[in-house]
């Protein structure tokens, strides 16, 4: 039995152990320090634990340019979105190539030491239209890039503490640990489902269809930085755990979290999500409609079509499970898609997001064909407190 190899061949581990960590902490006291943005801090953790393998640090200029233009690192390995360190210009002005610098989290606590190998102009005019397919400042990903510095610092990182505030520590398994768990369970094929929303009946269906094809299922919600109007991670985790407890075969299902900061880059982000899951040991990745999108910047199925640009077995090695929009059909008495059901929209139970929020605020469960009652009750509690 063998697991899928990590992206680029080697699972990265940039976390210093024992004496090396103590030495680096000591060294950091005499170094200039950089306070990371929330996104940079999440990226540092993703690099540290190997979720961003083969990256060992923040991208240099050649990697940055080729990632923006061609979705590849300079060495040809597929990588869709720049992972960069882009502090304010007055901070980078004081840092020289060849120096070691301390990297602190947004609250000023030491995370890592970095060897600065490059300092280069942050070409936002190359990054924004290529990665986000829009230059609209109202796009949350574009807005973040515009607010970043005009220079990037690159170099490998040696991490002392990946994060000082691990949300959901019991669910926060790094790639090495999910891989161990899959091996222990005897799973060589694993389907993963990415989500930043509560799981309702239609998505429960997708995950179960996927599991019919694989040895195991990883429900892998994102708990890194999201938009302020997304449902809080704590509420979502309660929904996921309740659903797994009551409606999934626990021997075949794992629930763990991923500390990634969303970019909302739609298609390119779907590729990033796939690479990350491969590093966690996943072989089959579910990509539904509007994956990782926001507003109307991307076509409904753009995040599926982008994979056609790759030689999938060679470039990614993950099977992409592309799903149509699904909903409960009263005539079929099942969750269906346009692929599997001949009936029209009038037969579907598909209340709008706005309608669902109204019902929850009023203390009403949405129809059970849309949402499991136990999940609805958790959301009602949240919606009423959020008032």
> d(Cα 153, Cα 121) in Å, to the nearest integer?
9
Q: How far is the CB of 289 from Zn ion (least distance, A)?
A: 18
Residue 164 has a CB neighbour count (10 Å cut-off) of 12
Within 10 angstroms of residue 90's Cβ, the number of other Cβ atoms is 8
| Cβ-based nearer residue to Zn ion, 150 or 340 | 340
- Which one, 307 or 328, has the nearer CB to Zn ion? 328
- In 122-267, the DSSP E strands lie at 151-159, 190-195, 216-221, 253-255
Q: How far is the CB of 375 from Zn ion (least distance, A)?
A: 23
Based on CB atoms, which residue is closest to Zn ion, 163 or 326?
326
Q: Give the binding site for Zn ion (CB under 5 A).
A: 329, 331-332, 341, 343
Residue 68: CB atoms within 10 A of its CB come to 21
Tokens of 257: 């979290």
The per-residue DSSP string of 49-97 comes to: TTTTTT--EE--HHHHHHHHHHSB-TTS-B--S---B---HHHHTT--T
Instruction: Identify which of residues 316 and 341 has a Cβ nearer to Zn ion in the complex.
Output: 341
Please enumerate in sequence order all residues whose Cβ is within 8 A of that of 253, keeping only pairs 6 or more positions apart, or say none.
211, 216, 217, 218, 219, 244
**Residue 340: CB minimum distance to Zn ion, A:** 8
Annotated catalytic residues are 196-197
Closest distance to Zn ion from the beta carbon of 356 (Å): 21
| Phi, psi (rounded to 5 degrees) for 181 | -65, -40
Select 172 or 348, whichever has its Cβ closest to Zn ion.
348
Report, in Å, the least distance between residue 343 CB and Zn ion: 4
Residue 41 main-chain phi, psi, to 5 deg: -65, -40
CB count, 10 Å around CB of 387? 5
Is the CB of 96 or the CB of 340 nearer to Zn ion?
340
- How large is the C-alpha radius of gyration of the chain? 21
Cα distance between the two ends of the chain:
51
């Amino acid at each position: 039995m063998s697991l899928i190899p990590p992206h680029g061949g080697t699972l990265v581990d940039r976390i210093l152990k024992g004496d090396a960590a103590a030495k680096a902490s000591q060294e950091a006291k005499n170094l200039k320090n950089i306070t990371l943005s929330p996104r940079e801090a999440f990226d540092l953790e993703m690099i540290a634990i190997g979720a961003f393998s083969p990256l060992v640090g923040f991208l240099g200029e050649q990697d940055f340019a080729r990632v923006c233009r061609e979705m590849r690192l300079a060495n040809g390995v597929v990588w869709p979105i720049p992972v960069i360190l882009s502090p304010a210009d007055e901070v980078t002005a004081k840092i020289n190539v060849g120096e070691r610098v301390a990297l602190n989290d947004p609250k000023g606590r030491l995370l890592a030491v970095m060897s600065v190998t490059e300092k280069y102009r942050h070409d936002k005019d190359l990054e924004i239209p290529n990665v986000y397919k829009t230059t609209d400042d109202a796009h949350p990903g574009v807005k973040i890039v515009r607010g970043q510095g005009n220079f990037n610092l690159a170099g490998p990182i040696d991490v002392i503490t990946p994060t000082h505030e691990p949300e959901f520590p019991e669910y926060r398994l790094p790639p090495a640990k999910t891989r161990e768990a899959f091996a222990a369970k005897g799973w060589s094929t694993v389907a993963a489902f990415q989500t930043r929303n509560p799981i309702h009946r239609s998505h429960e269906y997708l995950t179960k269809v996927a599991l019919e094809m694989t040895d195991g299922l990883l429900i892998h919600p994102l708990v890194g930085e999201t938009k302020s109007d997304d449902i809080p991670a704590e509420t979502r985790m309660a929904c996921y755990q309740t659903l797994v407890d009551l409606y999934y075969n626990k021997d075949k299902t794992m629930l763990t979290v991923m500390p990634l900061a969303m970019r909302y880059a739609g298609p390119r982000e779907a590729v990033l999500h796939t690479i990350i899951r491969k590093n966690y040991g996943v072989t089959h990745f579910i990509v539904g409609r509007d994956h990782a999108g926001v507003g109307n910047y991307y076509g409904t199925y753009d995040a599926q079509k982008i994979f056609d640009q790759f030689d999938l077995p060679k470039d990614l090695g993950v099977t992409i499970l592309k799903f149509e929009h699904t909903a409960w059909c009263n005539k079929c008495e099942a969750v269906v898609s346009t692929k599997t059901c001949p009936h029209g929209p009038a037969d579907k139970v598909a209340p709008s997001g706005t309608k669902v929020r109204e019902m929850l605020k009023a203390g009403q469960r949405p129809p059970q064909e849309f949402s499991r009652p136990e999940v609805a009750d958790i959301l009602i509690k949240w919606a009423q407190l959020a008032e």
